[in-house]
Chains A and B, each alone.
Chain A
């Protein structure tokens, strides 16, 4: 099965900062990589699909890049509502595994 490895597992940052979360697949997944945001007590929300396609209604400060095995999610100009846990997920082949998550906390 495909393994998805996110780094870092946790991250402290300040409002206004630019942060990058990375996700590595154990095999090439082309661009079949999605990013989700989850806030405490809430269901996950799809932010980016196909590695770099921003979902409707998601602020433009979120961006995704990468292909093959290496991907990244960048948030430019952190806002208070961005502090959450972020997950990558490969949608190349079943089982459609998630990364372990990155918890973004306020510094």
Chain B
């Protein structure tokens, strides 16, 4: 069975740093593009970042560009999100999400985010 399990969410002070991890199982990890998506309490979904199978393509939302870094270790079937300069507005449930490989053209086209983890909670508060 396909599983994504996030970890690393904690309470951190504004300006602090954090690293989220996602352990994948039940599928060939390096066949897939991976994402981080977050959801602030009571709010909607916000796509944050994407990394393709070999890390050659990485994209970020403007809200986290320059502060967050996505990476993966295919030998460990793991996805990561390095989060720096954290703000209170980064408080959210962070989901690790899978998508089939994108189609390369003028843009990097995707066909949906098909497997989601249960999320890990990050709280930024003093």
Contacts and interface: CB of A to CB of B under 8 A. Distances in A.
Contact of A101 (B44, B47, B59, B119): B44
B118 interface: yes
A1 B62 contact: yes
Nearest to B112: A49
B114 A94 contact: no
Contacts of A32: 109-111
B32 interface: no
Most chain B beta carbons < 10 A, residue from A34, A44, A96:
A96
Contacts, number: 72
A91 interface: yes
B117 interface: yes
A99 B44 CA distance: 8
A94 B46 contact: no
A92 B109 contact: yes
Interface residues of A, number: 27
A39 interface: no
Interface string B92-109: 000100010000000111
A55 interface: yes
B45 interface: yes
Contacts of B111: 32, 34, 49-50, 53, 91
30 contacts: A1-B62, A34-B111, A34-B113, A36-B45, A38-B45, A43-B117, A43-B119, A44-B116, A46-B112, A46-B113, A48-B112, A49-B111, A49-B112, A49-B114, A50-B111, A55-B114, A89-B47, A91-B99, A91-B109, A91-B110, A92-B109, A93-B107, A93-B108, A93-B109, A94-B59, A94-B107, A95-B47, A95-B59, A96-B59, A98-B44
In order of increasing CB-CB distance, the 10 nearest A-B pairs are A49-B112, A94-B59, A91-B110, A43-B116, A93-B107, A34-B112, A98-B45, A95-B61, A101-B44, A96-B47
Given A89-B113, A101-B45, 6 more contacts: A43-B116, A44-B116, A91-B99, A91-B112, A94-B59, A99-B44
Interface of B: 35, 44-47, 50, 59-62, 95, 99, 107-114, 116-119
Interface of A: 1, 32, 34, 36, 38, 43-46, 48-50, 53, 55, 87, 89, 91-101
